[in-house]
Structure 1
């Protein structure tokens, strides 16, 4: 299938239905717990009222009013959860309607049924034709409304990327952009799970940037049942970071007490299941690293006060130790990176979303279909060499072009007095495109194409028939039974070249 169909788009966007489905399940369980809790509380209150026959009337009325008030609060909470359920369900319906719009832009290329009619065809033939029609509904890529549909999907990809990659907790540029665009297109808010992504971003930023674990602890408590089911190691990572934070603050007694209550249990192999072997090895390694630190804390930590000191904890206590470098690594920011990675793994596993930004995935697919060996990011065809500096004179002064800012059409091609609008070579996409594979493109078919071992294809005459400019060089190569790649300057044996036949 060379052209996109409706089924292709549904398969690539399947996660759009996964997230709201998981949110509905989670919300439904919250409703169940709320009802069971209120049911038990109401039964207890009624039992108290019935068994308090000797109490004065005013006290009985007070108990009744308390029960009524509790039930009213329950009704408000229940209504809030019901509204959430309806909101999540509306997201699924909106996304179904969004894909249903594609039916207006399809081009049915199977004309057999409409041309010959249905008379004389048995049920099996009709079902086969229907199946072909369903699979052969290609999209009219020149339809103006389809182009607008793609623009809308592109906007959603950009918004999702901005929400997830926002570096501040107080304001999110992706949310602001979504609110701005939803004024003209209200359905955008139902086509993206902005609240979930914003919550993910806030937790991630709080861990990596602010070294605050309050939000991730709250998220862990909300999803404790699921995390226990998948053998998550998030609780250990949280306790590990909390212990080292107490150490850095100089709260020695609290750190020792916390380690006994919350970290010592992870050193017991009996507390792990068979599937948690990887977690066991990693946790034991980290516990061994902080073992020596605990000894220092237990022996001399009480005599060291750090609360009013401007000197870091690691410098005051462990500078003179021969294992100082190991302790310094333990107290580094590496623990926050480990906690954030563990949080991302569990979050992705819970909601079934992609670890990578979908925007980068689509860009990579498009760039790899455009990337050729003529792109300037290939060092053989570029002034951007990694082994030696290159420069172009601009006026009287030579201009070094090893800096990234000179990549792309804004500088590089202007200095060379050339025009190039290739997205693969652009400075914005260079970092993403440089590691992508080359596209296997054939812009024209020439006679007798031969493929060299490096994958390049040239006409037979260009490889073997020497030109006047390179007459002696090619004759020498041909005598040795070799040919030279005009692009990469590599030499290969003629026997290693293969005749190819374009499809």
Structure 2
């Protein structure tokens, strides 16, 4: 019964991780609608007014035939331009609807599965892992690798390549010292950024001002003052300290050591601007700040983490030597003896090694930092614990019945037990009873 319960798929928990996959096309559809709604209203109103003016002028004789023809040509130009915008928006809408259909179908496959033992679940979970890997690579700028993986797996409609490639392009331009692309993006999303109370555009305008001041040329400094009056001073009520620092920058050159002006001239500001843009971009689209792969790993690591995984001893051991293999048994690592041993409970005694042991995921060098801030596992009911646990001197934990059975099969003398993995023999008086906390 316990195995059946453990193998049962919790669809709600799966959907928590896959929410961004379903949400993003919807957010992009809203953005696509907003991008054409205002031009449509503006151009259609302009054409209607011009048509009315032309018709009235033609009827009362105030407009010459040449003026009428000129106005008609102008209306045709405006309508053709509007048609191009609407055509592009319609194509984008079709693409997003196709993505939504593919993603809903992908999630429907999961809804039809009930247990992880189903042969179809392995293929579905493998495809989800590929999605998480593509998301991770796109967020870290490995665009070509992400595109290659998506094309190889045939899942372009399940990942958000175009969105993240556009984000990566602007991020790289900021890291390269250009704010033009980011300012254009801010202008496209001005209303949404204002609702979010984002300071990204203000930071970009400040950086423009700083770069003008960096040159030291008189003409550029006058241009910087004009720029500040137009783009920085209006934010005095919202960001008074920052505006004051920008004003004070007039008295200091780039080689100053006085703070905060030295930091304002620092080249590291470009990286902070890039990070601020990525944060605003993800927040605008309701996407998580961390890669989905990290979120999935954190959930799994939390289920395995115990207080000993980041103990003072473990932190010191990770600096002094490589991690040793953990104990190999079928019991929960949350079991603790009355007196804790001096070594990590996941690991065998120093000097003991076995090819059958595995590295503790939490204590591995690859995942230790990621697991440091996740919560400890909380098990309301332990289903995998053996009865009457005993701790061997080498740090391994087994059930007493299994130790007795193995000792009998090994032909040991009464009062002796044998480690099932290493083969070490101990007296029963050396064993200590383990209690589950």
TM-score normalised per structure 2: 0.70
Partner of 1:174: 146
Secondary structure of the corresponding residue to residue 314 of structure 1: coil
Matches for 1:352-431 after TM superposition, within 5 Å: 352-371=286-305, 380=313, 384=317, 386=319, 418-419=354-355, 420-422=357-359, 423-431=361-369
* Equivalent-residue separation in structure 1 for 2:108 and 2:270 (angstroms): 44
Given candidates 143, 151, 162, the residue that maps to 2:126 is 151
- Relative to structure 1, the CA distance from residue 485 to residue 243 in structure 2 (aligned partners, 3 Å threshold; closer, same or farther) is farther
Say if 2:17 and 2:292, in contact at 8 Å, map to a contact too.
no
**What is the CA–CA distance in structure 2 between the aligned matches of 1:390 and 1:23, rounded to whole Å?**
50
List gaps (5 residues or longer) in structure 1.
107-139, 270-279, 297-312, 392-414, 451-455, 461-466, 469-483, 487-496
In structure 1, the residue corresponding to 2:288 is in which secondary structure? coil
Q: Distance in 1 between matches of 2:81 and 2:314?
A: 71
Deviation at 1:265, TM superposition (A): 2.5
Shift of residue 77 of structure 1?
1.8
User: How far apart in 2 are the matches of 1:351 and 1:191?
Assistant: 16
Going from structure 1 to structure 2, the CA distance change for 1:25 and 1:485 (only over 3 Å counts) comes to farther
Distance 1:232 1:190 in 2: 30
User: What is the alpha-carbon distance in structure 2 between the residues aligned to residue 77 and residue 382 of structure 1?
Assistant: 59
Report 1:18-97 matches (<5 A). 18-50=23-55, 51-52=57-58, 53=61, 57=65, 60-97=68-105
Residue deviations 1:249-285, cap 9 Å, x none? 3322212222222222222x3xxxxxxxxxx4xx333
| Correspondence 1:227 to 2:227 | no
Q: Which runs of 4+ in 1 moved over 6 A?
A: 456-460
Residue 386 of structure 2 is aligned with which of 415, 435, 445?
445
- Rounded Cα–Cα distance in structure 1 between residues aligned with 2:184 and 2:78: 25
Query: Within 2, Cα distance between the matches of 1:68 and 1:390?
Result: 76
Partners of 1:211 and 1:336 within 8 A in 2? yes
Distance 2:281 2:44 in 1: 32
CA contact (8 A) 1:34 1:78 kept: no
Say if 2:9 and 2:113, in contact at 8 Å, map to a contact too: no
Q: How much is the aligned-residue C-alpha RMSD, in angstroms?
A: 3.8
Name the counterpart of 2:163.
196
Gaps of 5+ in 2: 323-350, 401-414, 417-429
| TM-score where L is the length of structure 1 | 0.62
Contact 2:36 2:86 in 1 (8 A): yes
- Decide whether aligned partners of structure 1 residues 37 and 370 sit closer, same or farther in structure 2, where only a CA change above 3 A counts: same
Aligned counterpart, 2:13: 8
Match of 1:290 among 226, 246, 250: 246
Residue of structure 2 equivalent to 1:432: 370
Task: Name the stretch that deviates more: 80-89 or 285-294.
Answer: 285-294
Q: Given the superposition, is the C-alpha separation of residues 383 and 60 from structure 1 closer, same or farther in structure 2, using an over 3 Å criterion?
A: closer
Structure 2 counterpart of 1:314? 254
- For residues 335 and 142 of structure 1, do their structure 2 counterparts lie closer, same or farther at Cα, with a shift above 3 Å needed? same
CA–CA distance in structure 1, aligned partners of residues 259 and 37 of structure 2: 52
